Structure 1
Amino acid sequence: MATFSDAQTAKWKAYFDPKMFPGDLDIDRRKCKRTVPMQVLSLGMSRTGTASMKVALHILGHNDVFHNLNTFQNLREWDIWIELAEAKLNGNASTINWRKEFDGLLGHCEAVTDTPPSYFGSELITAYPDAKVILVQRDFEAWERSFLSLVDVMWNPVYNVLAFLDPQCLGRMTRISNMIAKAKHVTSRGEMKAKLRESYYAHYDAIRAATPPKRLLNYELESGWEPLCEFLGKPIPNEPFPHINESAALKD
């Protein structure tokens, strides 16, 4: 395992430091349009190194990379993600102009990673036919241990109370999390755990099926910069590949 200097680790963590966020920007994304081209769709499941991918893509020159934690900067955009999730859940996806919706939500971003984008993987792949797709997949057992720690929070009654008391932030996050779970026919932690392996592999199968092979990189974080830079046509940075502790970032 590579070791990194305290300064290097601090630099990476700064991307996820709440003190670095400008507060709730209160931007109405329904009125926004695309201002930069969407170039990279990193569509691996949460807890597969999405925070590390965010930092890596920043280092490679992508000036704005969407990650779930970015929503804390602009809470009202959760309402749009919720509407899109409702459309998928209710079988109304064909009524949505996905490119228009994504251009509003993500028009300032050159790349995306983590949820909610990974849940809308096939829609993003179709909406941005020139964007390259990166699929980071971990060993299932290692991923399961990490993901279940998040599931324990989701199904904790105390969390639901907090979500009720904080409708602007936790309430919105809980709504879309429940919709995604419902779409997978999950209503309890037990069901979530029982269906986790099937759901995990189904996600990766669906992304691979939706992506032309020339647009797709099946990638492991342990591979470092070389395959990623070759795929994206970028020079290899003169610094280590970032490794972010996503659990710590979420706790912060």
Structure 2
Amino acid sequence: MIKVIGAGLPRTGTTSTKAALERLGFGPCYHMFEVMAHPEYAEHWLPAGSGSPMDWERTFEGYQSCVDWPASYFWRELAETYPEAKVVLTVRDPAGWYASFHALMANGPGRTFQEHAHDASHRVLAAMERMRPLLHKIGQSVFGVEWHFGEGAPDERQAIAAYHRHIATVRKSLPPERLLVFDVRQGWGPLCAFLGVDPPVDEPFPHLNDAESLRRSITTLLTEGRMPAPFDAGR
């Protein structure tokens, strides 16, 4: 049963938020990395790529929260499916977000579509290839029909305009008591107050999975055939 829904775009602190939610007892938390760690999960998302209804219970079986694409793109549908769930809209400085998103497009899932990779990585690469129609659909919906998944980040002005549109849409679509607009630099306080839990004592808020750690994870996948979790690096 999903209790917390992430509505932020990728690279807005979603990976730190995943780690924080799991530390606060709202885990496991579903993130794009789950598909890469469990390639069989790609099958769950195929209906969304073709416009067919999603089986959300099957998709999120065993999970209590979700952040990051593809899950966060469907924040509206998930908020309707799980009316008791709270929604966290992660935000950050737009220029910093664009730089990080640009790095993700250069070093993230799109980079995994390579012909020459370690044999053991083929299941992950195949899963991401199956996800391509959905990720392409999501990207064009957010950034415009000129953008194509796997071809780098959109133009900075276009991307930042889409970023602001997304935030405005989420904010006007949900009642304030159900929505937290959250910058991970704020730390435990706002998130814990919103979720009604006590903050961890003498434990810093997790700041994980920067562009470099993601790059290392993808490189390890392609060269060694294993996918280390970038979320574990700061624990």
1:155 CA drift (Å): 11
Q: Report the CA distance between 1:152 and its aligned residue.
A: 3.1
1:131-146 pair list within 5 angstroms: 131-146=85-100
Pair 1:187–1:46, CA change in 2 (3 A): closer
* SS of corresponding position for 2:154: helix
Q: Deviations over 1:26-49 (max 9, x none)?
A: xxxxxxxxxxx3211121111111
Q: Cα deviation per residue 1:54-94 (whole Å; 9 max; x = unaligned)?
A: 1101111123111111112321221331321331xxxx6xx
Q: State TM-score, norm by structure 2.
A: 0.77
Separation in structure 2 between the aligned mates of residue 72 and residue 59 of structure 1, nearest angstrom: 22
Q: Which amino acid aligns with 1:69?
A: F
Contact 1:125 1:210 in 2 (8 A): no
- Aligned partner of 2:226 in structure 1 is none
Q: Which residue of 2 aligns with 1:241?
A: 205
Is contact 1:49–1:246 with CA below 8 Å preserved after alignment?
Answer: no
Q: Structure 1's 155 and 204: CA in aligned 2 closer, same or farther, altered over 3 A?
A: same
What's 1:30 paired with? Answer: none
Structure 1: distance between partners of 2:112 and 2:193:
43
| Structure 2: distance between partners of 1:39 and 1:105 | 14
8 Å Cα contact 2:92-2:183 kept in structure 1: yes
> For the Cα contact (< 8 Å) 2:107–2:214, is it kept in 1?
no
Residue 15 of structure 2 is aligned with which of 36, 51, 75? 51
For 1:209, the aligned partner's letter is K
Q: Which amino acid aligns with 1:130?
A: E
8 Å CA contact retained: 1:134, 1:218: yes
Partner of 2:126: 168
Over the aligned positions, Cα root-mean-square deviation in angstroms equals 2.6
Matches of 1:118 and 1:70, distance apart in 2? 14
Equivalent position to 1:151, from 105, 119, 122 = 105
Query: How many angstroms does 1:161 deviate by?
Result: 4.1
- Aligned residue for 1:243, secondary structure, equals coil
Look at both structures and tell me which one has the larger radius of gyration over its CA atoms: 1
* Equivalent residues in 2 for 1:181-200, closer than 5 Å: 181-183=139-141, 184-188=144-148, 189=151, 192-193=154-155, 194-200=157-163
Contact 2:42 2:128 in 1 (8 A): no
In 2, are the aligned partners of 1:50 and 1:114 still within 8 Å (CA)? yes
- Tell me the residue number matched to 1:205: 168
Equivalent residue for 2:69, pick from 100, 108, 115:
115
CA distance in 1, matches of 2:74, 2:114: 28
* Offset, 1:249: 3.8
1:49, 1:180 → 2: CA distance? 19
Q: Secondary structure at the match of 1:218?
A: strand
Structure 2 counterparts to residues 3-82 of structure 1, below 5 A: 37-82=1-46
Structure 1 residue 148 displacement after superposition? 1.0
Unpaired runs of 5+ residues, structure 1, are 1-36
Do the aligned partners of 2:49 and 2:137 also contact (CA within 8 Å) in 1? yes
**What SS is found at the alignment partner of 2:199?**
coil
User: 1:54, 1:113 within 8 Å by CA — same for their partners in 2?
Assistant: yes
Asked if 2 retains the 8 angstrom alpha-carbon contact of 1:56 and 1:241, the reply is yes
Aligned residues: 205
Contact 2:3/2:65 (<8 A) preserved? yes
Q: Give the TM-score normalised by the residue count of structure 1.
A: 0.72
Distance 1:143 1:38 in 2: 27
